[in-house]
Amino acid sequence: MADATSINIKQALQNEAAKLGFDSVHFVRPDAIPQAGARLKEFLAQGYHGEMAWLETHAERRQSPLHLWSEVKSIIILGMNYAPQDDPRDDPLQKSQAVHQGNISIYANGDDYHDVIKKRLKQLGRWLLSEQAGEEIKVFVDTAPVMEKPLAQAAGMGWQGKHTNLVSREFGSWLFIGSIFTTLNLAPDQPETDHCGSCSACLDICPTDAFPAPYQLDARKCISYLTIEAKQQVPRVYRQQMGNRIYGCDDCLAVCPWNKYARSAQETKLQLRDNLRQPALSDLVQLDDAAFRVLFSKSPVKRIGRDRFVRNVLIAIGNAAGRASENAHIDYLPLIKDRLDDASPLVRGMAVWALSHYVESHALEKLARAQLVHETDPDVRSEWEHCLDA
Could you list the active site residues? 142
185 touches 24 (CB < 8 A): no
Closest CA to 215 of 163, 267, 167: 163
Closest CA to 72 of 186, 156, 176, 149: 186
- Computed on alpha carbons and rounded to an integer, the radius of gyration of the chain in Å comes to 23
Closest CA to 100 of 323, 369, 286: 323
> Which residues, 6+ apart, have CB-to-CB distance to 161 below 8 Å?
167, 173, 194, 196, 202, 215, 256
User: Beta-carbon neighbour count of residue 201 at 10 Å?
Assistant: 16
DSSP designation for 188:
P
* CA 162 to the chain's CA centroid: 17
Closest CA to 247 of 274, 216, 281: 281
User: Strand pairing of 24-28 and 74-81?
Assistant: antiparallel
134 touches 362 (CB < 8 A): no
DSSP designation for 258:
G
234 touches 311 (CB < 8 A): yes
Q: What is the dihedral of CA 222, 227, 231, 235, to 10 degrees?
A: 60
